[in-house]
Chain A
């Protein structure tokens, strides 16, 4: 498929190129909205509109004011900080608990495997708005208990609540990706390690972990993005002091339409590209480690 054989007929040639055009169009469909937000984020005006000046490529139609706003306005800085606090912690919890459970699930002879799996995937299945309300009541009580019984500050419990809620939402992604990696995992390797006298902990960190690392990393990234892009649950569970970036964007869209949102998104796209490239590099590294050569 990759290259057209020399003996291809004209029909095949036409199809070959038409097909590529179709795929190209679909990919364009996927990235079109992102392509739209980048120029709009340089809009000199305060609306999501291509102004006549912008269309005429007049430099006056463009400005960096929304970027300046994004990087200097505390309304944006604090949510960014909050997101950068909440998402990594949520990810760590999802990844550590999720990876352990996935390893457990991948052993043979696990009783009630399907049911356990269903419960662990449930945060992905339950419509978010229901999760959000249900979690609201639970986390309010948890927060009160933490404040009164454990004496934590209101702001600290606020973060804990959002982190735990986001960790729960990220878990299905970790479970799915890690179990998928473990399906291809050769268990004779752990037995070999055990044979040679490694303790289970050593086996886990030295043998199993490096091999399932790509699954763990991509699961972790999904969990990270879930938290980083989550708006419904945080609106319910969080308090204003834990306002995250998506929350700020949401209120921004609702109350004060401003292309600062687009500037924020453009920055995030750039960050995503860096993250995705990192994953790709990690993946290639792990393939080398596993001795699989790229096909």
Chain B
């Protein structure tokens, strides 16, 4: 056995080194941990949650659960319209949704997939309370007791709940007998009771919705006839006998009368298609596709914008990056080759706009570039441009490119400069003294060594520009806006957060791929900002 090397404390050197290494690792991690934790909690997780909205679609099944369930068995190829049962479920769901003010949100959600649905929900939201009135009136005509809130509470509530102190009652509870004997009524009434209990009038003074009466009629006329058991009271027995003779009403007709759109097959297909709690539809929309009952199709011609915008964002970001290389390279060269004091003064010129409010710089470009702006005025004054033919340099792609090149140029110059500073000038002199022309010396000797700087600057500029939004918004008009502007629009105006998240996710994936490429090519440590 070979004698092992020993450290001063008597352990083997190997284990001692290992221990030191472990301690070093631990120390490094301890130093990193607070920031890592901070960024994870305050940034990475919230952003992740935001992006997750791109697949969430629980709103449909949460808002109209019964309808979603009933609709599952509907086949649009055999029946142009869902049957009465679906409409009845829908009326019950809508009643709750309207009281909770959730129906217009669902309308807006479905409207993203089939324009026009929103107004159906809005309009019928105003009418749904009247549905079932025919039945309700007959119950009340039969016995005015049906109009009393108390009747219903006695019939359906849990005895323990009734016994509780009326001023401090817990949340409404159904009795088990009511639940089994009158399942439909209990189902709707439970929701009514929950909402009425929270209202200022309280359950004791609120008359049930028409749909509660409607559900009771359903229960009483169901086959086989319900076993009323202990529920049987003269009032209920009387109603059970009379119910089969009631004049009925079609909820389907009521919906179609309220808004014609409910008679449209496509509308119900949309609801059916978008019932599942998770959806790919936002991502599909984000690439100009749409999910239809017959599979995935391209979006209508006049709605295809996102692919175009993604391409435009990429092309314009590349253009801006190219412009930054062209303008940044000579400046960085000059900076790297001037004596330090002069170079630092020049650096201040480079950094000055970098540190002037972005908003102000962008508005200044507006003043400079517009048709009645400074540059056009100068050109007209010189005589290069006719007064009635001024250049359009803003509110279009040109405006965005000029203003963004200006804003991002320092991000190109600084990394380039820090790389160029490390290239010894003697290399160029050596090349020249060996007979290379100026151009060859530059192109074959200097330029290759500055490529990492170009790489660093380019990626930085490209990543920053691809996500820009304020500058294009102010100077981009309609042809110079980026995908971020659409994201912002969907977040703050159209409220289509799912689509915004999907667009954002796609953008983020592109940026991360670039970041990865950048890290492979240059290494993220090699970015230097000033200093």
Contact = CB atoms under 8 A, between A and B. Distances in A.
The answer to whether any beta carbons of A and B sit under 8 Å apart in the complex is yes
Interface of A: 1-2, 12, 15, 19-20, 22-23, 26-27, 29-34, 36-37, 40, 48-50, 97-98, 100-101, 103-105, 107-111, 114, 116-131, 133-135, 137-139, 164-165, 167-168, 171, 173, 176-177, 179-181, 183, 214-215, 218-219, 222, 225, 229, 231-232, 245-246, 249-250, 253, 261-262, 264-265, 268-269, 272-273, 275-277, 279-280, 283, 294-295
A15 B330 CA distance: 13
Contacts of A26: 327, 330-331
B508 interface: yes
Given A109-B28, A222-B529, A33 B361 contact: yes
Which of B24, B51, B463, B525 has the most A CB atoms < 10 Å from its CB?
Answer: B525
A221 B38 CA distance: 20
10 A-B pairs with the lowest CB-CB distances in the bound complex, closest first = A104-B31, A127-B467, A134-B50, A33-B364, A138-B46, A1-B337, A265-B360, A101-B35, A104-B32, A218-B531
A118 B525 contact: no
Given A33-B365, A97-B35, A109-B28, A138 B45 contact: yes
Interface in B434-469: 438, 463-464, 466-467, 469
B355 A30 contact: no
B357 A183 contact: no
A126 B360 contact: no
B515 A97 contact: no
Contacts of A276: 348, 351-352, 355
Interface stretch (B69-77, B90-98, B249-257, B484-492): B484-492
Contacts, number: 294
A104 B29 contact: yes
B39 to A, nearest CB: 6
A130 B505 CA distance: 9
Contacts of A165: 42
B514 to A, nearest CB: 9
Interface stretch (B224-232, B271-279, B339-347): B339-347
A176 B529 contact: yes
Contacts of A249: 357, 359-360
A40 B374 CA distance: 12
B36 interface: yes
B530 A177 contact: yes
A101 B32 contact: yes
A97 B38 contact: yes
Interface in B29-56: 29-32, 34-36, 38-40, 42-51
Contacts of B469: 127-129, 232
Given A133-B497, A137-B49, A218 B357 contact: no
Given A48-B366, A294-B341, A283 B531 contact: yes
A261 B515 contact: no
A107 B339 CA distance: 34
Nearest to B485: A129
B461 to A, nearest CB: 12
A32 B368 contact: yes
Contacts of B6: none
B319 to A, nearest CB: 16
Contact of A215 (B21, B504, B531): B531
B129 to A, nearest CB: 34
B367 interface: yes
Given A26-B327, A177-B528, 15 more contacts: A1-B333, A22-B330, A23-B331, A33-B368, A34-B353, A97-B38, A101-B34, A107-B28, A119-B40, A119-B44, A121-B515, A123-B39, A129-B469, A137-B46, A272-B351
A275 B470 CA distance: 26
B409 interface: yes
Contact of B474 (A103, A121, A253): A253
Interface residues of B, number: 94
B387 interface: no
A179 B425 CA distance: 26
17 contacts: A19-B330, A23-B330, A30-B349, A31-B353, A48-B367, A50-B367, A97-B34, A100-B35, A101-B31, A104-B27, A104-B29, A129-B469, A133-B497, A134-B48, A138-B45, A168-B38, A269-B356
B184 interface: no
B348 A273 contact: yes
Nearest to A107: B28
Contacts of B474: 253
A119 B356 CA distance: 28
Contact of B339 (A2, A246, A275, A277): A2
A173 B411 CA distance: 12
A111 B25 contact: yes
Contacts of B34: 97, 100-101
A277 to B, nearest CB: 7
A227 to B, nearest CB: 12
A280 B531 CA distance: 8
B222 interface: no
Given A104-B28, A177-B529, A34 B46 contact: no
A36 B488 contact: no
Which of A32, A111, A139 has the most B CB atoms < 10 Å from its CB?
Answer: A32
A253 B42 contact: no
A110 B28 contact: yes
Contact of B491 (A33, A111, A133, A222): A133
Which of A26, A219, A225, A261 has the most B CB atoms < 10 Å from its CB?
Answer: A26
Contact of B356 (A15, A268, A280): A268
Which of B24, B32, B49, B331 has the most A CB atoms < 10 Å from its CB?
Answer: B32
Given A2-B339, A294-B340, A98 B43 contact: no
Which of A29, A133, A165 has the most B CB atoms < 10 Å from its CB?
Answer: A133
Nearest to B38: A97
B141 interface: no
B500 interface: yes
A104 B512 CA distance: 24
